[in-house]
Amino acid sequence: MKLEGGCYCGAVRYLADGEPMMKAQCHCRECQYITGGATNMFMLLPGDSFKYTKGTPKQFSRSDLEKPVTREFCAECGTHMITRPRVPGVVVVKVGTLDDPTLFGGPQMAIYTIDKQPFHHVPEGMPSFERLPQR
Ligand SMILES: [Zn+2]
Ligand SMILES: [Zn+2]
């Protein structure tokens, strides 16, 4: 699956060529800062399938958390595009930064519903997890 995308201003562009390992919506409090308050729609992709084709993003990880993720965003326009979890070899791509977000097709599950807001929507019958599904 070929996925192209980038930030709002176009300074940073990426290309990913891999099969999504997970498609989900995340309800966590951290994601709410980045989405505007709704859930974060994302795809988990193999890390080696993802590369930047233009520009270099700025990286940020919180120093006050025990196991912080690294978030990468455009230093010009501020668009957050991907997250690198502590687990190596995977990358979390935000669906809204794809050139064609319809390629997402929709989430398979809801995660971190422990932080779910009353105005968040989980479709009827969709698997949901308080944190992450057990592996
Ligand atoms: Zn930008
Ligand atoms: Zn989240």
Q: How buried is residue 28: exposed, middle or buried, by Cβ count under 10 Å (0-12/13-18/19+)?
A: middle
Mean pLDDT (the chain, rounded): 96
For residue range 42-74, list pLDDT tens digits in order. 999 999 999 999 999 999 999 998 889 999 999
CA contacts within 13 A on the Cβ side of 58: 10
* Cα 52 to averaged position of ligand 2 atoms, centre (Å): 23
As a whole number, mean pLDDT of residues 122-133 equals: 95
Ligand nearest to the CA of 9: 1
* Cα 74 to averaged position of ligand 1 atoms, centre (Å): 5
Ligand nearest to the CA of 42: 2
* Cα 108 to averaged position of ligand 1 atoms, centre (Å): 29
Report d(CA 43, CA 113) in Å as an integer.
17
For residue range 12-47, list pLDDT tens digits in order. 999 999 999 999 999 999 999 999 999 999 999 999
For residue 135, pLDDT over 80 is answered with no
- Per cent of the chain over pLDDT 70 is 99
Which letter does DSSP use for residue 96 in this model? G
CA distances from 123 to 26, 42, 100 (A): 13, 16, 22
pLDDT at 67: 87
pLDDT at 87: 86
* Cα 20 to averaged position of ligand 2 atoms, centre (Å): 17
* Cα 127 to averaged position of ligand 1 atoms, centre (Å): 34
pTM, rounded to two decimals: 0.93
Q: Which of 14, 113, 88 is nearest to 57 (CA)?
A: 14
* Cα 112 to averaged position of ligand 1 atoms, centre (Å): 28
* Cα 72 to averaged position of ligand 1 atoms, centre (Å): 11
